[in-house]
Amino acid sequence: MASKVAHAYYLDDEVLMDAVKACKKKHYHIEDVYTPFPVHGLDKVLGLPHTRLAICAFIYGLIGLTVATTMMNFIMIEDWPQNIGGKPSFSYIENLPSFIPIMFELTVFFAAHLMVITFYMRSKLWPFKKAENPNERTTDDLFCIELDASHVEESELDAFLKLTGAEEVNFKNQ
């Protein structure tokens, strides 16, 4: 953890992107960036590793598909054989078309819900959690870059950040 950080506030996401690129070029260490909405391409500029959430989503989808298949096979074929559309074959595969919508729905349902829950857990978010962002205005209209300022001259960093278009620069000891 940095003992001292700088918070630079920006009004526009394009300006923010350019500022992040400039900081990277100067080799300033960016602790984190807070934005009111997801900024396209920011993760790439920050050099963050690619999210593995997509892999989870795929696995969750497969789980949903399996649940749907076993559930319907048990309910409609084994436990209480149903005559589906006047085709009493009592076979899952022969009646597959009528099961596909539910297989699809449950795949999406499992992928979506479990992915959101995974995302919350991974981001350490839960109800009544205290906000961690440096300033609540970053949930409204401001974009904030948090920089490690422990080994840099304050005035120099301040001037640099103002040059990149920062509206406001604060320094904070932690």
Partner 1 sequence: MNTFKNNIKILPLVLMVLGIIGLAISFSSAPSSTEEVEQILASQHHGGHGASHGDAHAADHDSHGDAHKAESHHAAHGEDAHGHNTHEVTVQDEAHTEHEKHLHHVLHQLQNKPWAALYVAAFFFFMIALGVLVFYAIQFAAQAGWSPLLFRVMEAITAYLLPGGIIVFIILALSGFHLNHLFVWMDSEVVAHDELLQGKQGWLNVPAFLIRAALYLIAWNVYRHFAVKFSRKQDEEPAGNVWYKKSFKAAAVFLVVFIYSESMMSWDWIMSFDPHWFSTLFGWYVFASMFVSGITVIALTTIFLKSKGYLAKVNNSHLHDLAKFMFGISIFWTYLWFSQFMLIWYSDIPEEVTYFVTRINDYTLPFFGMVALNLVFPLLVLMNSDFKRINFIIVTVGIVILIGHYIDIYNMVMPATVGVSWSIGLPEISAVALFLGLFIFVVTKALTKADLEPSGNPYLEESKHFHY
The contact set with partner 1 (CB under 8 A) reads: 40-41, 54, 58, 84-87, 97-98, 100-101
CB-based contacts of 17, cutoff 8 Å, min separation 6: 39, 41, 42, 45
Min dist CB 76 to partner 1, Å, is: 14
User: Hey, what amino acid is at 156?
Assistant: E
User: Dihedral (C-alpha) 134, 140, 142, 148: value to the nearest 10 degrees?
Assistant: 20
- Going from the C-alpha of 90 to that of each of 25, 71, 73, 93, 173, the distances in angstroms are 67, 15, 10, 9, 71
Query: For residue 45, how many other CB atoms are within 10 A of its CB?
Result: 18
Min dist CB 86 to partner 1, Å, is: 6
CB-based contacts of 89, cutoff 8 Å, min separation 6: 95
Min dist CB 92 to partner 1, Å, is: 15
Shorter beta-carbon distance to partner 1: residue 87 or 151: 87
Min dist CB 41 to partner 1, Å, is: 5
Shorter beta-carbon distance to partner 1: residue 30 or 57: 57
